[in-house]
Structure 1
């Protein structure tokens, strides 16, 4: 198993875990149930750990695919930049989640405030996660790129917008 394969295995959980955790946390707040909130916090912590694994395998995956036809370094760089922001947001959400679990166990009065901070952080993190997922998908799935309809593949396998525009004008 190479880094690209490992990256594909681990990179989905930070996104899915954050979305699921957000829904579970909101449910826990509505139900006023600390066990449900702690479940969400646990998911956020696991998502942060998977983000760490995803970041660790990302460079190796980049090296394997950046020179493939229809890929290019710019789209990978864009994905990497957004992924770094997601990792930071997930690490922050993981730290907030650890505080939330501790405060819930101690029945601390600030536990409710931390759960609201976690919701706001999780909403922002979920937004960044969708951007990362989309940009990552665009690396190999050229059909979902914004320029998918205007980009054509030359016989050599490289993409050229100029060639595409010239061919469309003919």
Structure 2
């Protein structure tokens, strides 16, 4: 497996885990179950760890796709910038969730606030997750680009370094 393949294997996880975490957290709030809320915190923590894996495989993926015809440097850089913001936010959510997990186990008075804060922050993370996923998809999926499936005709024959 090459670098792009590894990136494709792990890059969906930092998006999926927070989605699952939000669903579980809402369930925990409705059922008033600390065990369910702790599970949601774990999903957010695992999502942060998955973001580390996705970021670590991104550079190798870039080296593979930069040599593919029709791939412009602009799409890769846009995705890379979006992924950096998303990963930082994922790490912060993971940190908040660690505090929430600890507060839940220790039955701290602020445990309920951490739960609400993590749920709201997870919404922010998911907003950036959507952007990162979309910009990543645009690299190879011309059909989701704003200009449809029209390939960048003036860039097809240029080398990666010379592209817009």
Q: Which residues of 2 match residues 19-168 of structure 1 at below 5 A? A: 19-148=19-148, 151-152=150-151, 154=153, 158=156
Greater length-normalized contact order (CA 8 Å, ≥ 6 residues apart): 2
Q: Which residue of 2 aligns with 1:168?
A: none
Question: Could you give the per-residue CA deviations for residues 14-41 of structure 1, whole angstroms, max 9, x where no partner exists?
Answer: 0011111111111111221111111111
Tell me if 1:9 matches 2:9.
Answer: yes
Q: Give me the whole-angstrom Cα distance separating, in 2, the residues matched to 1:157 and 1:60.
A: 22
Q: Which residue of 2 aligns with 1:167?
A: none
2:142–2:151 Cα contact (<8 Å) kept: no
Q: Give me the whole-angstrom Cα distance separating, in 1, the residues matched to 2:50 and 2:41.
A: 14
Q: Which residue of 2 aligns with 1:164?
A: none
**Deviation, structure 1 residue 153:** 6.1
Counterparts in 2 of 1:152 and 1:64: CA distance versus 1, 3 Å: closer
Larger-Rg structure: 1
1:70–1:142 Cα contact (<8 Å) kept: no
Q: TM-score, normalization: structure 1?
A: 0.87
Q: Which residue of 2 aligns with 1:165?
A: none
Question: Could you give the per-residue CA deviations for residues 85-117 of structure 1, whole angstroms, max 9, x where no partner exists?
Answer: 110000000001111111110111100000011
Q: How many residues align?
A: 157
Q: Give me the whole-angstrom Cα distance separating, in 2, the residues matched to 1:62 and 1:93.
A: 26
Q: Give me the whole-angstrom Cα distance separating, in 2, the residues matched to 1:50 and 1:33.
A: 26
Q: TM-score, normalization: structure 2?
A: 0.91
Q: Give me the whole-angstrom Cα distance separating, in 2, the residues matched to 1:153 and 1:58.
A: 23
Q: Give me the whole-angstrom Cα distance separating, in 1, the residues matched to 2:26 and 2:102.
A: 18
- Moved beyond 6 Å, runs of 4+: none
Point out where structure 2 has 5 or more consecutive residues left out of the alignment.
Answer: 158-164
**Deviation, structure 1 residue 71:** 1.1
**Deviation, structure 1 residue 67:** 2.8
**Deviation, structure 1 residue 49:** 0.6
